[in-house]
């Protein structure tokens, strides 16, 4: 058995694609195809996040958060001089004194809300990588009541693919680096 498919895990049949799916593959209703190690379909990039692009997705989330926090900090330093960004976010006298600073301050708040949401998504993704589970597997485990809740419910460990923190991260970092052998029955 491969490292991706432990003993006791069998391939299944996709009734839509009419193909045998490898373990951890899933069919995306929006894309209309099966994807290896399907995590989720992301509406922001209009694509499935799976084996071939999961690393790029994590990198994109990380860059988004870095640039967003940088932009928020830069704007708050400009509008609310002499205050730390966190204090300025909640107390910035004069932020609404003129139109441009009021608009900038309002945009900072909207950006902070979106950044907090994206930070939560990145946190969940990093925890899932640490336990070697995908969002699809988490949803299925919750539906079937087969997973174990960890870290206050932030992580659902299915226990099926978890090999420990370092091995899980090593596996994630090597995703897509060597394309699997393709046969007529394999999927995208």
Give the 3-state DSSP-derived string for the chain, with helices as H, strands as E and coil as C: CCCCCCCCCCCEEECCCCEEECCCCEEECCCCEEECCCCEEECCCCEEECCCCHHHHHHHHHHHHHHHHHHHHHHHHHHCCCCCHHHHHHCCCCCCCCHHHHHHHHHHHHHHHHHHHHHHHHHHHHHHHHHCCCHHHHHHHHHHCCCEEEHHHCEEECCCCCCCHHHHHHHHHCCCCCCCCCCCCCCC
Report the number of distinct structural domains present in the chain: 1
- Full-model pTM: 0.80
| pLDDT of amino acid 11 | 63
Residue 34 domain-assigned? Answer: no
| pLDDT of amino acid 124 | 93
pLDDT in tens, 155-165: 787 878 888 99
Residue 77 domain-assigned? Answer: yes
42 flagged as catalytic: yes
| pLDDT of amino acid 17 | 79
| Catalytic hit among 17, 42, 92, 111 | 42
Residue 2 domain-assigned? Answer: no
Residue 77, pLDDT above cutoff 70: yes
| pLDDT of amino acid 24 | 87
Residue 129 domain-assigned? Answer: yes
Residue 50 domain-assigned? Answer: no
Residue 22 domain-assigned? Answer: no
Residue 101 domain-assigned? Answer: yes
- Domain boundaries, position 138: 55-173
Residue 1, pLDDT above cutoff 50: no
pLDDT in tens, 134-153: 999 888 888 888 877 877 77
Residue 29 domain-assigned? Answer: no
pLDDT in tens, 83-114: 888 898 899 888 888 999 999 999 999 999 99
């Amino acid at each position: 058995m491969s490292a991706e498919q432990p003993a006791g895990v069998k391939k299944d049949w996709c009734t839509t694609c009419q193909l045998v799916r490898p373990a951890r593959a899933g069919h995306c209703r929006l894309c209309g195809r099966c994807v290896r190690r399907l995590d989720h379909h992301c509406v922001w990039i209009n694509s499935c996040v799976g084996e071939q692009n999961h690393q790029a997705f994590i990198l994109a989330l990380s860059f988004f958060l870095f640039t967003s926090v940088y932009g928020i900090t830069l704007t708050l330093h400009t509008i609310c001089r002499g205050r730390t960004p966190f204090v300025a976010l909640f107390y910035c006298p004069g932020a609404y004194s003129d139109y441009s600073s009021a608009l900038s301050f309002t945009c900072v708040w909207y950006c902070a809300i979106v950044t907090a949401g994206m930070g939560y998504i990145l946190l969940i993704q990093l925890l899932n990588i640490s336990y070697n589970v995908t969002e699809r597997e988490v949803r299925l485990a919750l539906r079937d009541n087969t997973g174990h809740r960890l870290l206050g419910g932030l992580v659902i460990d299915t226990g099926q693919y978890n090999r420990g923190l370092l091995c899980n991260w090593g596996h994630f970092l090597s995703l897509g680096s060597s394309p699997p052998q393709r046969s007529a029955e394999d999927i995208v």
